[in-house]
Structure 1
């Protein structure tokens, strides 16, 4: 008999689009939080209809967006260095939730054979302009051949996906036996999450359907005969998330306060390992 416990962890507001309230339900067996209620599939799109949803645009309208894209450039090089470190012979890459295609573009320019999945039409058009007709809508993933990718990446994407087990089973099918699955997600056990609580921008309800801890990711992927072999920090995320969290909490982007909290989060994480966001390098068992 299952002993899974579900209890309300926090109540959060959608600060960027709808102003609706949601609960975060803690699945204590997996140590994962679930947004409740989760929007139905045909309703989810409306929660992304915001000019401020920065991952679906290349806009540089203000200082915040210019800084975001500058930092993204640094992060892209680090992501490239990571996948290059796997020393895969054929260098075939699938980037799920590829957004406007910047990671695909830098990977392609470094001899990777790239393929992308992106549900947002406008973002997909931008990505195709950068890398060609190798970026598809979500339904295409079911048509891709078994054992066809050396690396599959999800950069802040898994938290957006319904039916986690269905998606992970698909990645299992698509990866080569010695392939690598790379998942980057926010960490609700981080200091900045505990500091901002319901104002923590990385909860981002209801776009983020799930919220993960290190234990949660390990237990989730183990269900599909995967194992986490390495965990890496995303140090910039603590500052970016703290900036948005300050805006949600106070109505203003308090740069100094956000910088202080972000710095504190990274310093504490050096000892605890609980960074604001983490990259999980995952392989077949």
Structure 2
């Protein structure tokens, strides 16, 4: 099922024209879906795998010699510890954790060290192999999980990549045990940095990002399954990293001073509006 099927027949309009700046250089349109307050990448590729070249896609790497990638890994190491601390407040006796889009498995590896019973889903074969080499239980798809239920399910910048969005949300709902928690981190297209960089905003990341969410989007989509937002948490570092990439897309070269300023300004503006570059949504039933 596609999100823009007969269930959502409200009139759409072109919101912005952008392109894949990092790999294919192909152009795409973001259509606004008013019933969900969401942007939809159009067209959506039938074969998305070619847009995830291993040498180009950072979350499928364990290391890199490029300067910008080194910044990514420094921040990643810091945020891993923050994520583990964040999820600890939602553990129960079972401490069962499912991470969807686990990449090379660093988050699950840290969670396992903290005595979580971990399972991961990673569709990319090379990233999956790297995660499995860390003695982690990683599967190719949700279908391999059977009837298992989990205390905690996490998607760290993954939901925006998943095709057939409503079907994916249905699957997440079925995998969550009674009293369980769903944690979703996604970019926020209503942030200051998104509005400033416009079609150069790196977090659009078309066509790998198929959906572009607002707070309303998440609320509406998950409320249909009885899952309600209990907490929204900012991801402060995202505005800086996204601004670094956006500067490069906009000007053809990276201006770190401008990027740091825009990232700081985005967080400052968000203190008033709540519209941070990326947000973590904690959802529970009822």
Same fold (TM over 0.5): yes
The CA deviation at 1:146 is: 3.6
1:26 alignment partner in structure 2: 32
Secondary structure at the aligned position of 2:133 is classed as: helix
CA shift, 1:143, in A, is 3.6
TM-score scaled by length of structure 1: 0.95
**Cα distance in 2 for residues equivalent to 1:271 and 1:174:** 36
Structure whose residues are more often helix by fraction: 1
1:12 alignment counterpart: 18
- Aligned residues of 1:145 and 1:174 also touching (Cα < 8 A): no
Inter-partner Cα distance in structure 2 for 1:3 and 1:54: 36
1:200 aligns with 2:206: no
Q: How far apart are 1:6 and its partner, in Å?
A: 1.1
> Please, which runs of 5 or more residues in structure 1 have no aligned partner?
none
Match of 2:48 among 44, 51, 65: 44
Q: CA deviation at 1:148?
A: 1.5
Q: Which residue of the partner structure matches residue 174 of structure 2?
A: 173
In the TM superposition, residue 62 of structure 1 has moved relative to its aligned partner by 2.2
Which residue number in structure 1 is paired with residue 269 of structure 2? 268
- C-alpha distance in 2, partners of 1:282/1:197? 29
For residues 80-99 of structure 1, the aligned pairs below 5 Å read: 80-99=84-103
Write the distance in 2 (CA, Å) between the matches of 1:104 and 1:50.
21
Work out the CA distance in 1 between the residues paired with 2:18 and 2:198. Answer: 9
Structure 1 moving runs of 4+ over 4 Å = none
Instruction: Note the C-alpha offset of 1:15.
Output: 0.6
Contact 2:23 2:56 in 1 (8 A): no
Deviation at 1:50?
5.0
CA displacement 1:8-51 (0-9 Å, x = unmatched): 110011111111110000001100100000001xx110011152
> How many angstroms apart in 2 are the aligned matches of 1:147 and 1:135?
14
2:138 matched to 1:135? yes
Distance 1:126 1:97 in 2: 13
Shift of 1:3: 6.7
Distance in 1, Cα, partners of 2:233 & 2:9: 32
SS at 2:115 equivalent: coil
The answer to whether the 8 Å contact 1:12/1:22 transfers is yes
**1:123 and 2:127 aligned:** yes
Q: Do the aligned residues in 1 keep the contact of 2:229 with 2:282 (CA within 8 Å)?
A: yes
Task: Please give the residue correspondences for 1:69-80 in structure 2 after superposition, counting only pairs within 5 Å.
Answer: 69-80=73-84
Question: How many residues end up aligned between the 2 structures?
Answer: 280
Question: Greater CA deviation, 268-277 or 141-150?
Answer: 141-150
Aligned twin of 2:279: 278
Residue 145 of structure 1 and its aligned partner are, at CA, apart by: 4.0
Q: Does structure 2 conserve the Cα–Cα contact (< 8 Å) formed by 1:147 and 1:173?
A: no
Relative to the length of structure 2, the TM-score reads 0.95
Structure 2 residue runs without a partner (length 5+): 1-6
Cα deviation code 1:220-260 (max 9, x no counterpart)? 11122211110000000000000000010011111000000
